[in-house]
């Protein structure tokens, strides 16, 4: 009996501690944020955080999302992590006014629970690319697509349809969002069965999640949000820096700064600042293109456009070089990034702004610098070259002259007489090399 009593006394505390640990594990939920374009940096962060939340035994994950879209490969990486998660993933389009466009729409479809806040929208999931001509019309005016266009479109439609079927969402809406690039408001998405419900804010979201049943890997999970605590999985400072420079517009501006800065340093050695800025921008640019799908043909067109702008300064082309530069720059900027989904292209407003800046820089700033370099120096000792002086003594090799109100040592290969007029030919240290003025 004593032995039995001993085992009971030993086991009960152990079971109590074990049950307490399980309860504590169920009292927390994870929050991960997806803000901005979907790129490899943010995809790696979200995948890692989902895995960490599973390891930490969180009850569920809230992926707070606001994105215009991004890269297909990065989007698929995020979706794979959601689909393989052993705990429910709630994708919540938040804050108010946010969007789940393009890649964000696919991610929303893959969620165990899809939620939107008021004032948000979802959709526009049609693939885009300057090399793919969707919806071209034939001779009869009917729209048709080439083989490559059909391949890309059918693949993205099938992927969206597969996600919608898996999560029992509106399959036809998913097909239309890809095929016809339709978008829906938060109310329309709820009415059409694209999302599960609408939540005003995080508190409202937790309230509505309480008691909800979710199918995760074939097992039913009941969420309990009462007295739960939040665990945030935020990017560290290295990831934040990399994510900032993984933005298409930032990379675009870095390339322009690199070209302008390095070119100014090569044209005017010793300026230092433009060279340093251009060099730093270049190395950051190289780092960024390791993770972004850069189209080197587009990169070459941008470089060519700047060369054409500079050639316009020295070659009379009646504006043809400038026009060619503008066309080359705009087209190169449009195709600079290879991504079949919207949200990863450079806005046309940014392209036009940079074109205007480059034209101003080349034809105002750069032209002024070149003009100054071509002008004769009129200050300092070099400013004496070409000036007329008066000999103060007779000399055939060395003597003294009077110029600009000052007496200077002079040297000449001519026979110079006192009061002769001479012309300063060049400057050698503190001695002026002169020649006799035959007209003096």
The string of pLDDT tens digits covering residues 224-236 is: 998 899 999 999 9
Q: Which two tokens stand for residue 287?
A: 């780092």
Domains of the chain by start residue, with CATH: 2-238 (3.90.226.10), 247-374 (no CATH), 381-436 (2.40.50.140)
What does the pLDDT read at residue 310? 75
Q: What is the pLDDT of residue 17?
A: 47
Q: Which conformational region is residue 119 in: left (phi greater than 0), alpha (psi within -120 to 50 degrees), or beta?
A: left
What share of the chain in percent tops pLDDT 70? 83
Question: Mind giving me the DSSP string for 189-200?
Answer: HHHTTSSSEE-S
DSSP at 70? B
Q: What predicted TM-score, i.e. pTM, was given to this entire model?
A: 0.70
Of residues 45, 76, 80, 49, the one with CA closest to residue 62: 49
Q: Which residue matches tokens 């400072």?
A: 237
Q: Using one digit for the tens of pLDDT, what is the confidence trace for 9-60?
A: 554 455 444 444 444 445 899 999 999 989 999 999 999 999 999 999 999 9
Q: State whether residue 108 is helix, strand or coil.
A: helix
Query: In the predicted model, what is the mean pLDDT of the chain?
Result: 83
Phi-psi region of 19 (alpha: psi -120 to 50; beta: other; left: phi over 0): alpha
According to the model, what pLDDT value does residue 381 have? 62
Note the pLDDT of residue 3: 47
> Tens digits of per-residue pLDDT, 52-93?
999 999 999 999 999 998 888 899 999 999 999 999 999 999
Q: Is residue 212 predicted with pLDDT exceeding 90?
A: yes
Q: At 35, give phi and psi (nearest 5°).
A: -125, 130
* Helix, strand, or coil (residue 36): coil
């Amino acid at each position: 009996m004593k032995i039995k009593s001993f085992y009971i006394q030993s086991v009960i505390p152990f079971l109590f501690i074990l049950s307490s640990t399980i309860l504590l594990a169920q009292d927390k939920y994870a929050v991960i944020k997806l803000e901005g374009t979907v790129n490899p940096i943010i995809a790696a962060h979200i995948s890692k955080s989902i895995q960490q939340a599973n390891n930490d035994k969180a009850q569920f994950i809230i992926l707070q999302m606001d994105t215009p879209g991004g890269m297909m490969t990065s989007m698929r990486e995020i979706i794979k992590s959601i689909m393989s998660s052993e705990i429910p993933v709630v994708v919540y389009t938040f804050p108010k006014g946010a969007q789940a466009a393009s890649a964000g729409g696919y991610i929303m479809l893959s969620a165990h629970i899809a939620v939107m806040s008021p004032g948000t929208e979802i959709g526009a999931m049609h693939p885009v690319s300057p090399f793919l001509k969707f919806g071209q019309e034939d001779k009869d005016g009917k729209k048709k697509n080439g083989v490559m266009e059909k391949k890309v479109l059918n693949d993205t439609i099938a992927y969206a349809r597969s996600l919608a079927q898996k999560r029992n969402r509106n399959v036809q809406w998913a097909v239309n969002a890809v095929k016809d690039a339709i978008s829906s408001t938060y109310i329309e998405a709820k009415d059409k069965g694209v999302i599960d419900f609408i939540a005003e804010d995080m508190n409202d979201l937790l309230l509505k999640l309480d008691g909800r049943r979710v199918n995760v890997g074939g097992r039913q999970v009941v969420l309990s949000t009462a007295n739960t605590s939040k665990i945030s999985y935020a990017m560290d400072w290295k990831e934040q820096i990399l994510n900032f420079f993984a933005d298409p517009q930032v990379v675009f501006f870095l390339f322009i700064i690199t070209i302008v800065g390095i070119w100014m340093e090569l044209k005017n050695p010793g300026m230092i600042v433009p060279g340093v800025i251009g060099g730093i921008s270049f190395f950051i640019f190289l780092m960024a293109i390791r993770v972004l799908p850069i189209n080197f043909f587009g990169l070459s067109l941008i470089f060519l456009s700047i060369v054409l702008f500079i050639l316009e300064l020295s070659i009379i082309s009646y504006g043809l070089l400038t026009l060619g530069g503008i066309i080359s720059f705009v087209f190169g900027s449009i195709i600079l990034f290879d991504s079949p989904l919207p949200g990863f292209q450079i806005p046309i407003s940014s392209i036009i702004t940079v074109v205007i800046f480059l034209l101003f820089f080349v034809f105002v700033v750069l032209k002024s610098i070149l003009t100054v370099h071509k002008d004769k120096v009129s200050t300092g000792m070099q400013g004496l070259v070409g000036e007329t002086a008066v000999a103060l003594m007779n000399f055939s090799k060395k003597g003294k002259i009077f110029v600009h109100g000052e007496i200077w040592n002079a040297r000449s290969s001519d026979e110079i007489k006192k009061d002769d007029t001479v012309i300063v030919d060049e400057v050698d240290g503190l001695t002026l090399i002169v020649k006799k003025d035959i007209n003096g």
